[in-house]
Structure 1
Amino acid sequence: MQKSLRTPRQQLLLSLLIEARKAKGLTQADVAAALGKPQSFVAKYENAERRIDVIEFVDIAAALGVPTAAILMRIESVTRKGARDRSGK
């Protein structure tokens, strides 16, 4: 398993979090304030300068008002589709 800031699934996670933030009309500063973190925390994960761990992910999703399961299901669907494409099935 590749562990990188630039893997397709990591990039998808970030794009889903950014999409959710923008859909709610929130700025990075708004999300950071809800998390009790500096705005740079949000900027760094959104710009793939740092990974977020699972607890941070749960907290970020809560701050965005998005169910964690909804985000994970979208990532899983892309993962399954990619696996099928690679296997030729």
Structure 2
Amino acid sequence: MAGAAHTQAYKDLLNALVQLRKEAGLSQAELAKRLRKPPSYVGKYELGERRLDIIETMIVIEKLGSSFEDFWRTSGIQLPE
């Protein structure tokens, strides 16, 4: 399936979210519990099988103990031109 979910920038976002989760010392199941979602929710977005919208992304980042601004500043994600 083509689309923005598979751009390099989106893959970089997912990788940065996985790294942030691991730095927080949380498993997928632990993060899912904080989000009040089933464990498959985290697994699917981390694998790119489910797309996060901006609000969901911000909530995930918050539940991982960061702010969107700090996450974005340190993520190194490059937006396509």
With normalisation by structure 2, the TM-score equals 0.85
AA partner of residue 55 (structure 1) = I
AA partner of residue 65 (structure 1) = G
Correspondence for 2:71: 71
Q: Cα distance, 1:45 vs. partner?
A: 0.2
**Alignment gaps of 5+ in structure 2:** none
Q: Cα distance, 1:50 vs. partner?
A: 1.0
4+ long deviations beyond 3 Å = none
Rounded Cα–Cα distance in structure 2 between residues aligned with 1:3 and 1:52 = 13
Rounded Cα–Cα distance in structure 2 between residues aligned with 1:49 and 1:4 = 13
Rounded Cα–Cα distance in structure 1 between residues aligned with 2:66 and 2:27 = 15
Correspondence for 1:34: 34
AA partner of residue 3 (structure 1) = G
Higher helix proportion (structure 1 or 2): 1
Correspondence for 2:43: 43
Q: RCO greater where, 1 or 2, for CA within 8 Å and sep 6 or more?
A: 2
RMSD in angstroms over aligned alpha carbons? 1.7
Q: Cα distance, 1:5 vs. partner?
A: 2.2
Q: How does 1:1-89 map to 2 (within 5 A)?
A: 3-73=3-73, 74-75=76-77, 78-79=78-79, 83=81
With normalisation by structure 1, the TM-score equals 0.78
Q: Cα distance, 1:3 vs. partner?
A: 3.2
Rounded Cα–Cα distance in structure 2 between residues aligned with 1:39 and 1:46 = 11
How many pairs are equivalent?
A: 78
Whose Rg is larger? 1
